[in-house]
């Protein structure tokens, strides 16, 4: 594998916000450091869990510069590029490289439905626009339920055939274990990650690299344990129960609410509109489910 360091549990970080809805860089830096201290391999900021599609390129690049100024280990950052706009995507990729980040996780251009050749051509244009400034590694982000674009084996082959070692991996957020296994077997030269804890053991047993997901924001140590011991059926069962509870609570808003509760910092629960914070009965049910799964925030 060309990028053999790209493996393990990569935490798709939440993004803390100030009351004015600016990125709270100090809290973000502290949280990223906590995730790395919990043995996550890397942190992926400004992806789906990080509300990256609700933030402008200016906001995200400013936050990355500020993170670097705070002393964050940028070599262990793999920020998301989430925009249908070629110009913004190119600016983001260059900015990620200038910040010293390890790689960029690039969502395909959503909104307009198009052919696989159209998607491949967008990546052609992105790499052409940025190649004079950077040769930073790129991971493809497969989340068709939101982007409306599925990275089939044929599409990945086309992109890799044109750009070779620039494409180092795929985050497969389909939640489909068979799809993840197919990608790992078809592309042994790529780091194939799942976005779903429940798929992690199967993927690892078939040559996958690990996971990039939101659950490590609260359960990093359990997920690192599962990565190190994929046969641990008890931890897998607990994570399955937790995922169901998080999904019921609204996914990323549930993760932020839980993190705020367990850390004793209610500011971490704040989300950008149109999302709404999880409160009241919903939060009570979420925490009760976590308690039933044997979660101990101090562990």
β-pair partners for 12 = 44
227 is catalytic: no
Domain of 29, CATH number, reads 3.20.20.70
Q: Provide the pLDDT for residue 113.
A: 81
Query: Quick check: 140 and 170 in contact, CB under 8 A?
Result: yes
pLDDT (tens digit, 9 = 90+) per residue, 150-170?
999 999 999 999 998 999 999
Instruction: Provide the domain count of the chain.
Output: 1
Q: What is the pLDDT of residues 196-245, one digit of tens each?
A: 999 999 999 999 999 999 999 999 999 999 999 999 999 999 999 999 99
Cβ proximity of 197 and 226 under 8 Å? yes
Residue 7 annotated as catalytic: no
pLDDT at 1: 45
List phi, psi (to 5°) of 31.
-65, -45
pTM of the shown model = 0.96
Q: Which residues pair with 192 in a beta bridge?
A: 170
**Whether the predicted pLDDT of 266 surpasses 80:** yes
Is the preceding omega at residue 158 within 30 degrees of 0, hence cis? no
In this predicted structure, the answer to whether residue 14 has a pLDDT above a threshold of 60 is yes
Task: Give the residue from 73, 17, 20, 19 showing the smallest Cα distance to 46.
Answer: 17
Domain membership flag for residue 66:
yes
Average pLDDT of the chain, as a whole number: 96
Full domain range(s) for residue 179 = 8-231
- 299 confidence band (pLDDT: 50, 70, 90): very low
* Cα–Cα dist 154/63, whole Å: 36
CA nearest to 198, candidates 236, 226, 235, 228: 236
pLDDT at 2: 55
For position 297, what pLDDT does the model report?
65
CA–chain centroid gap for 89, Å, is 17
Sole residue written with tokens 């400034």: 133
Question: For residue 3, what pLDDT is reported?
Answer: 73
Q: Tokens 């053991």 — which residue?
A: 201
pLDDT in tens, 66-76: 999 999 999 99
Please report where in the chains the tokens 């690049």 appear, as a residue.
61
The single residue of 141, 227, 238, 256 carrying the catalytic annotation is: 141
Residue 278 lies in a domain: no
Residue 139 has a pLDDT of: 98
Find the catalytic residue in 60, 68, 171, 238.
171
- 13 located within any domain: yes
Task: Name the binding residues.
Answer: 49, 212
Mark the binding-site residues for pyruvate, compressed into ranges: 49, 212
Any domain includes 49? yes
Q: Is residue 285 part of a domain?
A: no
Residues whose CB falls within 8 Å of the CB of residue 225, separated by 6 or more in sequence, listed in order: 232, 235
Average pLDDT, integer, range 55-81: 98
Mean pLDDT along residues 118-126: 97
The answer to whether residue 248 is domain-embedded is: no
- Token readout for 224 is 């690192």
Backbone phi, psi, residue 177, to 5°: -60, -40
Q: Are the beta carbons of 156 and 182 closer than 8 angstroms? A: no
Confidence of residue 114 (pLDDT cuts 50, 70, 90): confident
In a domain, residue 147? The reply is yes
Of all residues in the chain, the percent with pLDDT exceeding 70 is: 98
Question: 94: closest CA among 130, 62, 124?
Answer: 130
Per-residue pLDDT averaged across 277-292, rounded?
96
Per mean pLDDT, which range of 137-146, 203-212, 221-230, 287-296 is the poorest?
287-296
Asked if residue 263 is part of any domain, the answer here is no
């Amino acid at each position: 594998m060309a990028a053999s360091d790209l493996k393990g549990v990569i935490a798709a970080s939440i993004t803390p916000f100030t009351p004015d809805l600016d990125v709270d860089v100090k809290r973000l830096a502290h949280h990223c450091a906590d995730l790395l201290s919990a043995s996550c391999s890397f942190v992926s900021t400004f992806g789906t869990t990080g509300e990256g599609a609700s933030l402008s390129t200016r906001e995200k690049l400013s936050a990355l510069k500020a993170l670097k100024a705070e002393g964050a280990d940028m070599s262990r950052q793999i920020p998301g590029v989430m925009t249908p706009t070629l110009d913004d995507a190119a600016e983001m990729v260059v900015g990620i490289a200038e910040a010293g980040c390890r790689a960029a996780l690039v969502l395909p251009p959503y909104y307009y439905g198009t052919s696989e050749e159209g998607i491949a051509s967008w990546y052609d244009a992105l790499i052409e626009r940025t190649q004079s400034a950077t040769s930073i590694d790129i991971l493809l982000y497969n989340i068709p339920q939101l982007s409306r674009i599925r990275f089939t084996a044929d599409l990945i082959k086309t992109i890799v055939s044109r750009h070779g070692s620039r494409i180092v991996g795929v985050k497969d957020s389909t939640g489909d274990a068979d799809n993840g296994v197919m990608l790992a077997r078809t592309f042994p030269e790529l780091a194939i990650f799942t976005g779903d804890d429940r798929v992690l053991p199967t993927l690892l047993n078939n040559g996958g690299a690990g996971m990039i997901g939101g659950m490590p924001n609260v359960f990093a140590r359990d997920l690192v344990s599962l990565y190190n011991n994929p046969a641990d059926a008890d931890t897998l069962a607990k994570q399955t129960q937790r995922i169901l509870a998080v999904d019921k609570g609204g996914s990323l808003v549930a993760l932020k609410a839980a993190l705020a509760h367990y850390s004793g910092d209610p500011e971490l629960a704040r989300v950008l509109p149109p999302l709404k914070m999880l409160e009241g009965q919903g939060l009570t049910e979420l925490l009760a489910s976590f308690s039933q799964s044997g979660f101990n925030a101090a562990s």
